[in-house]
Amino acid sequence: MHKITNELKSMTNVAESTNLEDVFHVDILPALPHSAISLLQLSQKESAGPNDFAKPIEADPGLMGQVLRFVNSSYFGFSREIMSIPQAITLVGSRAIVNFALWNAVFSVIPNPKFGPFDLKALWQDSLRRAIFARKVGRVLKLEAAEDLFAGALLQDMAIPLLLKELPTEYEELVEKRASEGKRLSGLEKEMFGWNHADAAAVLATRWNLPEEFVELIAQHTEIEQLLEMGDSARGAACVALASLLPSCSENEWHEKGKFARACQRLSGMSKEDLFECLKDVDEQTAEFAPLLKLPVPEQSIMSFLAEK
């Protein structure tokens, strides 16, 4: 698993002006809220219990309210309302709460680059439903780290706004090529820079001292074919990479529908009917979850893309 980290360190770049380490210089990196940092530190301590995790959440009224709305959503499906943070942590586990708080923190600090037609809310909408899908597939496969897949998929594209802000001229060209050639953004980035936004997000996650498992999930999310070839050892990362093939809220076509269907069959073995039911559930959970994060519900559901001829 250290292969990705070593590749990041040895990465070569097309031009010095687009060296990834230079692009992500310390001056542009936003700082995570103190509550998120405290929770990450606690997550590394085996002795930490529900009351320990509750303290930094309860010290941040905004975060506390969002966590309670999160645990009372259909995502968990409890029959009675959860009223306290310690109770929430006991019932759903500290990992799920920390991961949610982490993404909530990232959501709050990533800037809007005001780049052409780019819509920051659409990026977060994409991230949300990809996260819900990655978790669902992880559960179909009975993987233990389904909550980490949720967080990894949520964070996979977090570097894009910073890249658009720091390299607007280069990304204007990439966006135009993507529209005219229909290629994935990550492939065009590799051609131009020698790295892509997955590498950039992994660097950002490392700078923030996020857990190594997140760094790995984020770094590999554009490598679905390689992950599928690796078999059982890479199934978690493959769930996150598969989620990245879902349609974007900002586009009218699902360009990678065929690739998604083939990869999903290889990874999960789900029947067409089971996949449709899974995607329908993702749409429903996204519609409920989006307001918790102050996001509009996507105008186009995944099912609407599937209905296209």
Residue-wise pLDDT for 237-251, tens only, equals 999 999 999 999 888
**Domain end among 89, 109, 129:** 109
d(CA 92, CA 147): 10
- One domain for residues 103 and 118: no
- One domain for residues 69 and 169: no
Q: Is the Cβ–Cβ distance between 193 and 13 less than 8 Å?
A: yes
What is the pLDDT, as a whole number, of residue 7? 41
Q: Residue 269 pLDDT > 90, yes or no?
A: yes
What is the pLDDT, as a whole number, of residue 309? 47
pLDDT in tens, 131-184: 999 999 999 999 988 888 988 999 999 999 999 988 999 988 888 888 777 788
* Alpha helix segments (H runs only) across the chain: 3-9, 20-23, 34-43, 50-58, 61-71, 85-92, 94-109, 120-140, 146-155, 160-166, 168-181, 185-193, 197-207, 212-219, 224-230, 235-243, 257-268, 272-289, 302-306
- One domain for residues 255 and 163: yes
- One domain for residues 168 and 241: yes
pTM (predicted TM-score): 0.85
User: Which range of residues forms the domain containing residue 63?
Assistant: 33-109
